[in-house]
Structure 1
Amino acid sequence: MRLSIRPPSRSRRRRWPAAALALAALTLTPAPATAAPEGCAHPTRARVPGAEHQRAACLADLTTAGTVASGHTDPADWAGLTPKDLAVPGAVPGHQIDGYFPDTSTTNTNHDWRHDAQFVIRLPDRWNGGLVVTGTPGNREQYANDRAIADWVLSRGYAYAATDKGNTGLAFHRDGKRPGDAIAEWNHRLTQLTRAARATVARHYHRPPARTLVTGISNGGYLVRWQLENHPELYDGGVDWEGTLWRSDGPTLLHFLPQALRHYPVYAAGGEHSGAARRALHAAGFPAGSEFLWPYHHQVYWDLTQRVYREELDPGFDGPAEAGTPFCAPGTPACDADYDYASRPEAARAVAGIALTGRIGKPLITLHGTLDVLLPIGKDSDVYARMVREAGRGPLHRYYRIEGGTHTDALADVHPDRLRPLTPCHRTAFTALEDWLAPGHRPPASRTVARPAATGPATLANSCSLT
C-alpha cells in the first residue's frame, strides 16, 4: 500500500466500466534517435489526447539524476521505496510531458496545480520502440516510481508514462460518490493514460509502440492485475510487484489487519498471553520469522492502512466519524481492531466492484517478498496465483516468491542481515518478461528465490537471479 501524507479532498466524481477483452502480440524493433525541432531547443509538439493541460520540456537527463536538479520530479513522491545502494543509470536525454486529465478533485499539489489525474510521460531520444506504463503505490503522486522503475526502463530505451491514479493522500477515500469509487477510478485512470500515452508515443516518434508493458508496486501491482484481466488488448504483458489483492470473499487487508491490531498489543506487552497472541498473528498470515518487523508496521502501517481503506470500502462502520479512531483498544465503539468483514455485507458489495478474478489475458509475472507484513504473501500473491490457475490462465503466469523480501525496500537498509530489496528482482523479472514475449523463450518456472548467503547490501541492491 505504501501510504504517504497529502492534503485531503472532498470532491466526488463518476466511475467508468471495464471494456471487453482481446489478445494481441507485438515485437520490439530498434529505432534511431529522434531529434526534437531545432536540435531539442523546443519541446515535443505531440499533444496528449484528452489532456486538459500539458507542459512539455526538453531535458538533458530524464532520470532522477537530472530531474531532481531540473525540477521535473518530486523526491518526496518516491522517498523510502528503494534501497540506498541502488545504482543510478547514466543520463537519458529526451522530452518530458507533465499534465492532467479533466478531474474535479484537488489532492495532488505537484506543480501547484492542485488538480488530480496528473500524469508524466517521458520520451527518450534513443527509443527502443517500447512503452512502459504504471500507476503509483499507496496513495502517492505520479513521480513515485521514478527511482524504482522509471530510471531503469528509460535507460533501456523505453518511453515511460505514470499516473497519480486520480486521487492521492490519506483522505483519498473522500473522492467518489459510493464506497469503492476512489479505488475503481485508479483502474480507469491507468486505462486512460495507457491509451493516451500510446497515441502520444506514436505522434512523437511517428510510429506506434511495438510493445506496451504495464508494471507497478503494491496498489500499482493491483492495477497491473486488473488491467491484464480487463484490458489485455492494450498490453503485451506485465510485471506485478506485490500487488494488493481485492476479492469479495477475501482474503483482503480488511481481514488480516484487524487481527494484527487486535493481537499485536497483547504480544508486545509480554506476559502469559503473549505466546497465544503471537500464534494468532501467525494464523492471520504474518509469517514466523517476521516478528522483528511487527513493531514498525504496527506503528506506521497497520492501523492507518486499515482505517483509511475501511473508510473507503465501508464508511458506515464508524457512522459519522471519518476513518475511525487511531490505535483504539478492542471493545471501544466502532474500533477497527474489532472490524469483522464477514458481518459487513456493505464492504463485500464495495469490494466486488474492484475485485480481481485471475482471468488474465496476457503474460504476467508476479513477485512478492516472503517477509511482507503489510500484505502477507500467504494472504495475497499465493492466493492470486491460485486464482490464476483456477481460472485456467496458469500458462500465462509466473510467480516468484522472494525470500527475505518485505513490502518497503528501504527497510532492507535497516535490516541488511535479514532482508533483501525487491527492486533488482523486479528488474530481472522485467527482462524475463521481455524474453518471454520473444518467440521460443520461456521464463524460469515459478519458484521461491532463496536469499543469497554472504552477500553484501550493495550487491543485493543491484542484482537478483530468478534461477
Structure 2
Amino acid sequence: MRPSRGVPLLAALLTSLAVLGPAAPAGAREAPPGAVGHCARLDRIDVPGAERQEPACLADLTTAGLAGTPYTDLADQAGLSARGTISPSGVPGVQIDGYFPDDSRLNATHGWAHDAQFVIRLPDRWNGGLVVTGAPGTRRQYATDTIISDQVLAQGFAYAATDKGNTGPDFFTDGRAPGDAVAEWNRRVTELTRAAKKAVRQRYGTAPRRTYMTGISNGGYLTRWQLENRPELYDGGVDWEGVLWTAHGPNMLTSLPVTVARQFGTATDEDLLRAGFAPGSRFLWPYHERAYWGLTQKVFRAEFDPSYDPKCPGATAGSTVEQILAPCASDASYDYAARPAPVRRAVARVALTGRIGKPLITLHGDLDTLLPIATDSDVYARMVDGRGRGALHRFYTVQDGTHTDGLYDSFPDRLRPVLPCYRSAFTALTHWVEEGDVPPADRVIARPASGDVVNSCALKG
C-alpha cells in the first residue's frame, strides 16, 4: 500500500469517489466472562451525542491487525508514510465506530453515506491519556491510522479521530455560506474531544489525565486552531505541516494561484520562487502540478470565494479523476487581495491568530511543495511570537522533508520522511507536559548521512 510516484493522491481521490467504503462493523461483542482487562466495561460505553455507534472487542487495534477488516481503510492512508515504515502491533481493546448528527452525505464509509463519522479506540492497557486528531486533506477518519494511531495506541493512549464533518473533493458543497465547511471541521474536533473524554471515563472509570491534539496538513491546522480557541480541552499538541489560514494572507489562496498560472503558461519558475516555493523543491513541481496544485486551489477557492467562478468547479469538482485534478483556467489569474471584503470575512471565520494556550510543537519539511514553509510555518511561528506565546512553542524544520512521506519512495536520494521526526516530537511533547522536560530550541533537523532515515529521527544533535 505504498504507491510510487503520482499515485498517493490519486488513490485517495479514487477512494473518495467510491460508492461504498468498508462494510459496516459487525457490532459489539460481549467481553469474555469475568474479564478484568480485555474489553471490560464494553457494555457501559455510550458515546455522548452520537447518532450511531458500533462498539467492538478486537484482538488488535493497530493497522497490522485491522488490515482487510471494516475497522480501517488502507486506501485512505495512501501516500502518507514511506515504504519500510515500522509500526507497532498487538494492542487489544475496544473500537467504537459511529457518527454524530449531520445533514451531509459525503462519507460513504461502512455504507452509511453519512458525515461526521468518527473512530474511538480504547486499548486494554491504558496509560491515562487521550490523543485526538482530524483527517488530513479531504480524507476520512482512518487516514492517520498508520502514522498516528498505531504508535500512540502502543504507548497506551486512547485515540479518537474524526472525518471533520465533510470529505472528498466536493467537501466545499457542505454548508450554506462561504467558509461553512471548514468552520465545521473545528466544531467536529471539539465535539469529538468532549465525547471521547466521556467515553474514556466510561471504559476506564476515570477521565483522561492528559489530552493531546495532533494532526498533519489540515489536521495540523485543526491542532493550531484547537490550542488557540479551546485550550481548556487539551494539555498540548503536535502540528505536522498545518495549513495556515489568515484573513489578509498568507494562505493557500495567495500561494497557489501562481502555480496554476505556471500550468497555463502565464507564470515562470522564477515567479514560483518569488512566491515562496523552495528552490530545492523544483524536482517535485511536476508531480504537484499533476496531482495537487490545481485541485487544491479550485476547491478551497470554491469554499471561500464561490462567486469568483460559479461554473468552476460548480456543484462538483468532477466525476472522474481527470476532471477532479484539472485546474480551473480562471484560477490562473486569481488575486486574493483584490477580491471583495466578504471573501476575507469568510476566511477570517477560520483564521489562526498564533494565540496558543497550551504547549505546541510544529514540524515542517523545508521541501514542502504544497504548503511552502516560507508562507506557512515560518509565518505561524512569527505569529505565535507576536502574541507573546513563544515560550509555549517549538518549531522544527525537517531538512529534505516534503508534504507527504510517500514521495520518499520515489526520491530516496533527495527526500527524508517526516514521520520519525513527528514521533520524536510527540514523545518530546509528553515529556514537556508531564515531566517539565523542555524540548530543544527551534532548529533545523538535518538529514543524517547514514542510518535508518525512515524510522529514526533525533530532535537533538
Asked if TM exceeds 0.5, the reply is yes
Give the drift of 1:260. 1.2
Give the drift of 1:264. 4.8
Give the drift of 1:243. 0.2
State the alpha-carbon separation in 1 of the partners of residues 151 and 327 from structure 2: 42
Cα 1:322–1:70 change in 2 (3 A) is: closer
Give the drift of 1:319. 2.8
State the alpha-carbon separation in 2 of the partners of residues 300 and 320 from structure 1: 21
Of residues 331, 334, 340, the one that matches 1:339 is 334
Cα 1:236–1:2 change in 2 (3 A) is: farther
- What per-residue deviation string (whole Å, max 9, x for no partner) do you get for residues 315-354 of structure 1? 000034435897568xx6xx11110001112321110110
State the alpha-carbon separation in 2 of the partners of residues 301 and 430 from structure 1: 28
Give the drift of 1:236. 0.2
Matched, 1:93 2:95: no
State the alpha-carbon separation in 1 of the partners of residues 380 and 92 from structure 2: 39
Matched, 1:55 2:54: yes
State the alpha-carbon separation in 2 of the partners of residues 375 and 301 from structure 1: 11
Aligned to 1:426: 422
Give the drift of 1:244. 0.2
Letter in 2 for 1:132: V
State the alpha-carbon separation in 2 of the partners of residues 373 and 328 from structure 1: 17
Tell me, yes or no, if the aligned pair for 2:39 and 2:124 is still in contact at 8 Å.
Answer: no
Tell me, yes or no, if the aligned pair for 1:8 and 1:169 is still in contact at 8 Å.
Answer: no
State the alpha-carbon separation in 2 of the partners of residues 264 and 287 from structure 1: 18
Matched, 1:354 2:354: no
Aligned to 1:443: 439
Tell me, yes or no, if the aligned pair for 1:166 and 1:186 is still in contact at 8 Å.
Answer: yes
User: Which sections of structure 1, spanning at least 5 residues, go unmatched?
Assistant: 10-34, 268-275
Letter in 1 for 2:443: R
Pairwise mapping of residues 127-146 of structure 1 onto structure 2 (< 5 A)? 127-146=126-145
Tell me, yes or no, if the aligned pair for 2:9 and 2:79 is still in contact at 8 Å.
Answer: no
Of residues 386, 389, 392, the one that matches 2:388 is 392
Aligned to 2:284: 293
Letter in 2 for 1:263: R
SS at match of 1:410: helix
SS at match of 2:280: coil
User: Which sections of structure 2, spanning at least 5 residues, go unmatched?
Assistant: 1-7, 20-30, 318-322
Cα 1:44–1:128 change in 2 (3 A) is: farther
Aligned to 2:457: 464
Aligned to 2:221: 222
State the alpha-carbon separation in 1 of the partners of residues 434 and 61 from structure 2: 28
- What per-residue deviation string (whole Å, max 9, x for no partner) do you get for residues 361-403 of structure 1? 0000000000000000000000000000001100000000000
Aligned to 1:239: 238
State the alpha-carbon separation in 1 of the partners of residues 169 and 327 from structure 2: 18
Give the drift of 1:404. 0.3
Matched, 1:283 2:279: no
Aligned to 1:304: 295
Letter in 1 for 2:410: V
State the alpha-carbon separation in 1 of the partners of residues 191 and 92 from structure 2: 26
State the alpha-carbon separation in 1 of the partners of residues 390 and 312 from structure 2: 44
Pairwise mapping of residues 405-424 of structure 1 onto structure 2 (< 5 A)? 405-424=401-420
Q: CA RMSD in A?
A: 2.0
Give the drift of 1:77. 1.4
Give the drift of 1:285. 1.0
State the alpha-carbon separation in 1 of the partners of residues 63 and 48 from structure 2: 26
SS at match of 2:308: helix
State the alpha-carbon separation in 2 of the partners of residues 390 and 263 from structure 1: 34
Aligned to 1:108: 107
Give the drift of 1:7. 4.3
SS at match of 2:362: strand
SS at match of 1:392: coil
Cα 1:197–1:283 change in 2 (3 A) is: same
Tell me, yes or no, if the aligned pair for 1:7 and 1:171 is still in contact at 8 Å.
Answer: no
State the alpha-carbon separation in 1 of the partners of residues 185 and 265 from structure 2: 37
Letter in 2 for 1:117: A
Pairwise mapping of residues 149-160 of structure 1 onto structure 2 (< 5 A)? 149-160=148-159
Aligned to 2:4: none
Aligned to 2:3: none
Tell me, yes or no, if the aligned pair for 2:264 and 2:332 is still in contact at 8 Å.
Answer: no
Cα 1:233–1:315 change in 2 (3 A) is: same
Q: TM-score, normalised by structure 1?
A: 0.88
Give the drift of 1:439. 3.9
Aligned to 2:261: 262
Cα 1:2–1:138 change in 2 (3 A) is: farther
State the alpha-carbon separation in 1 of the partners of residues 375 and 149 from structure 2: 29
Matched, 1:201 2:200: yes
Give the drift of 1:280. 1.2
Tell me, yes or no, if the aligned pair for 1:218 and 1:244 is still in contact at 8 Å.
Answer: yes
Q: Out of 435-444 and 49-58, give the one that drifted further.
A: 435-444
Cα 1:2–1:131 change in 2 (3 A) is: farther
Q: TM-score, normalised by structure 2?
A: 0.89
State the alpha-carbon separation in 2 of the partners of residues 439 and 371 from structure 1: 33
Letter in 2 for 1:185: E
Aligned to 2:23: none
Tell me, yes or no, if the aligned pair for 1:222 and 1:240 is still in contact at 8 Å.
Answer: yes
Cα 1:37–1:97 change in 2 (3 A) is: farther
SS at match of 1:400: strand
Aligned to 1:169: 168
Cα 1:289–1:69 change in 2 (3 A) is: same
- What per-residue deviation string (whole Å, max 9, x for no partner) do you get for residues 406-429 of structure 1? 001000111000100111111000
Aligned residues: 427
Tell me, yes or no, if the aligned pair for 1:409 and 1:420 is still in contact at 8 Å.
Answer: yes
Aligned to 1:24: none
State the alpha-carbon separation in 1 of the partners of residues 121 and 407 from structure 2: 29
Cα 1:228–1:36 change in 2 (3 A) is: farther
Tell me, yes or no, if the aligned pair for 1:36 and 1:44 is still in contact at 8 Å.
Answer: no
State the alpha-carbon separation in 1 of the partners of residues 332 and 149 from structure 2: 38
